């Protein structure tokens, strides 16, 4: 059997999906300060704007048909002149323009070298399910492997949730997602596509290979943390929390999205704060310059993961701090 491998292009595509799905992963049970009451679509007006722009919290893993249940979303989209997104996943990327991301174990190293028998048995059990091979055939390093397994576990569990509510299933085909539907509409209307993220900033924040998920650079220590995370993910309580997060989005209740977006059963408290500040707060602040420039120039529809909207340092409050009127569309 050949080693399980992932090309850079596959990893880049997969990474975008994982970044979206990470809004399901819940790291801290208490709501952050600055709780937001409202839905998924918000109007931005005032502060000298001639026409309103709109802020929309997406779910990267939900079917495009869910858009039909969001009040005013198509009217808002049709009223603007540009589309602002985290990243334009339809744009071809030059491989030589990206810094290489290390997603592999060192040569001649396997997880058998890094784990004891009990730990290895845990890792082997999930690798058999998701990769159809033992861990010795998986050459992804802990950074890449944990995000891949997290996504696989949540997707697998969501198939059970979908028996009650089809919208709770995390879709495997990105082309039928909410994001793709709005991207197609933007292209049909010839809207300029404005990207908020940049490769340089993602690299600077350590988000291109999720180094932030681990508390040490020691490979063996990372491997043991990987196993611990797998064991926690396998607990029914954590999956129930993940379901509540998806359910909150389905119910279009941003206050509940905020409540369940972080929980200590996935990451330890110190990692929780670091992860939240990096993935959400720092990116939100970094994004604000582009968002402000865009809406001052011409009306825009801004689509980001729903986890970026609420909270003291969420985009809703950051826009209000700049003097804009931000109100939910109901």
Spatial strand order in the sheet of 300-305: 193-195, 82-85, 300-305, 53-58, 41-45, 325-328
Highest mean pLDDT among 84-88, 102-106, 153-157: 84-88
Confidence grade of residue 18 (pLDDT, cut at 50, 70, 90):
very low
Which of 19-28, 51-60, 308-317 comes out lowest in average pLDDT? 19-28
pLDDT in tens, 248-302: 999 999 988 887 775 555 455 556 677 778 888 899 999 999 999 999 999 999 9
How far, in Å, CA of 201 to CA of 79, rounded? 31
Instruction: Please name the residue that has the structure tokens 């969501």.
Output: 158
Phi-psi region of 22 (alpha: psi -120 to 50; beta: other; left: phi over 0): alpha
Per-domain boundaries in the chain: 8-328
Please report the pLDDT score of residue 296 as a whole number: 97
Comparison of pLDDT for 257 and 214, the residue scoring more: 257
Q: Give the pLDDT band (50/70/90) at residue 179.
A: very high
Q: Give the total residue count for the chain.
A: 330
| Lowest mean per-residue pLDDT among 175-184, 237-246, 316-325 | 237-246
Question: Mean of the pLDDT values across residues 96-119?
Answer: 84
SS3 content of the chain, % helix, strand, coil (to 5): 50, 10, 40
Instruction: For residue 297, give Cα distances in angstroms to 49, 165, 198.
Output: 9, 41, 21
- pLDDT value of residue 201: 80
**147 touches 17 (CB < 8 A):** no
Average pLDDT rounded to a whole number, residues 27-33? 34
Please give the share of the chain, as a percent, with pLDDT higher than 70: 80
Angle at 152 between CA 147 and CA 156, to 5 degrees: 150
> Residue 325: helix, strand or coil by DSSP?
strand
Residue 175: band (very low, low, confident or very high) from pLDDT cuts 50, 70, 90: confident
One-letter-per-residue 3-state SS of 114-133? CCCHHHHHHHHHHHHHHCCC
Each residue's pLDDT tens digit, 35-83: 567 899 999 999 999 999 999 999 988 999 999 999 999 999 999 999 9
What's the pLDDT at 269? 53
Query: What mean pLDDT do residues 120-137 have?
Result: 95
């Amino acid at each position: 059997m050949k080693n399980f491998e992932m090309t850079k292009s596959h990893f880049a595509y997969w990474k975008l999906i994982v970044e979206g799905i990470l809004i399901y992963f819940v790291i801290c049970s208490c709501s952050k300060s600055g709780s937001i009451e409202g839905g998924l679509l918000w109007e931005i007006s005032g502060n000298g704007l001639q026409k309103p722009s709109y802020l929309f919290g997406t779910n990267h893993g939900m079917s495009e048909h869910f858009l039909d249940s969001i009040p005013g979303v198509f009217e808002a989209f049709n009223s603007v002149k540009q589309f602002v997104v985290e990243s334009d996943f339809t744009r071809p990327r030059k491989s030589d323009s990206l810094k290489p991301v290390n997603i592999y174990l060192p040569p001649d190293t396997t997880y058998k070298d890094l784990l004891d028998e009990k730990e290895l048995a845990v890792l082997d059990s999930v690798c058999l399910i998701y990769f159809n091979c033992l861990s010795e055939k998986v050459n992804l390093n802990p950074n890449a492997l944990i995000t891949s397994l997290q996504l696989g576990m949540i997707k697998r569990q969501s198939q059970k949730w979908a028996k009650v509510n089809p919208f709770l299933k995390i879709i495997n085909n990105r082309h039928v997602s909410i994001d793709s539907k709005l991207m197609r509409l933007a292209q049909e209307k010839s809207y300029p596509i404005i990207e908020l993220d940049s490769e340089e900033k993602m690299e600077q924040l350590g988000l291109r290979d999720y180094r932030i998920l681990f508390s040490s650079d020691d490979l063996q220590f990372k491997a043991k943390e990987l196993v611990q995370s797998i064991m926690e993910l396998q607990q029914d309580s954590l999956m129930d929390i993940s379901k509540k997060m998806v359910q909150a989005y389905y119910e279009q209740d941003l206050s509940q999205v905020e409540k369940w977006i972080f929980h200590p059963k996935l990451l330890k408290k110190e990692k929780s704060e670091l992860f939240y500040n990096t993935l959400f707060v720092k990116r939100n602040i970094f994004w604000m310059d582009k968002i402000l420039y865009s809406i001052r120039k011409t009306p825009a529809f801004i689509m980001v993961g729903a986890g970026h909207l609420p909270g003291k340092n969420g985009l809703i409050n950051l826009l209000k701090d700049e003097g804009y009127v931000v109100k939910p569309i109901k």
